[in-house]
Each structure stands twice: as C-alpha cells, then as structure tokens.
Amino acid sequence: MTEHVLLIALRLGVVAAGSLAALWSFRLGVHSRDQRGTYLLLALGFALLALGSLIEGFLFEIARWSLADAHTAEAILGTMAFALVLAAILRSRV
C-alpha cells in the first residue's frame, strides 16, 4: 500500500467517524429538550472535524495545494471544531 492510498484511507476513516458522531449528537439534540443546545454544539463540532478532513483532501488532491498548506487549512478547521466541542462540554456543566 502506498503512502498516498494510506492517507486517503485514513482521511475517509476520519470523515466516517466524524460524520457518525455528528449524526448521533444531532439525533440526541433533536430528541432532548433540556440539553438540545449542548448536543447541537457537539454535533456541529464533529461535523466541522469531518468537513476539515474532506477540505484537506479536496485542497490537496483537486486544488493541488501543497500538503503543508492543505493540512494548515484542516488544522484551522480542527481548532474551531474542538472549540465547539469544548463549548458543549462546558455548557453541560458536568
């Protein structure tokens, strides 16, 4: 397996896991009245993590950005996503 194929496989794994976590959090947010905002923030954070991985792949594969530049864009989205996850945790007051 080449390094390129391994990167694509790992990126798809991150997108799948992030999408499932976002979907599950969204479903919990829709069904929970008292914690709706917390779960929706969590869903948005996980969705942004998955989107960041997709964006990195798009920028590297299709837009022909360098790997470092594409990864920097993904890191910025990842930082914003983790900020949303942290906001959801702090909002839950656990």
As a whole-number percent, the residues of the chain with pLDDT over 70 amount to: 100
How far is the C-alpha of 29 from the C-alpha of 26, rounded, in Å? 5
Do residues 22 and 47 lie in contact, with contact meaning Cβ atoms separated by under 8 Å?
Answer: yes
Report the chain's mean pLDDT, rounded to a whole number.
94
Other beta carbons within 10 Å of 63: 11
User: Which amino acid is located at 28 in the chain?
Assistant: L
Tokens linked to 16:
């799948």
Residue 71 has pLDDT above 90, yes or no: yes
The string of pLDDT tens digits covering residues 3-38 is 889 989 999 999 999 999 999 999 999 999 899 999
Non-local CB neighbours of 37 within 8 Å, separated by 6+ positions: 29, 91
CA angle 77, 80, 82 (to 5 degrees): 110
Alpha-carbon torsion, ordered 22, 90, 79, 12, to 10 deg: -20
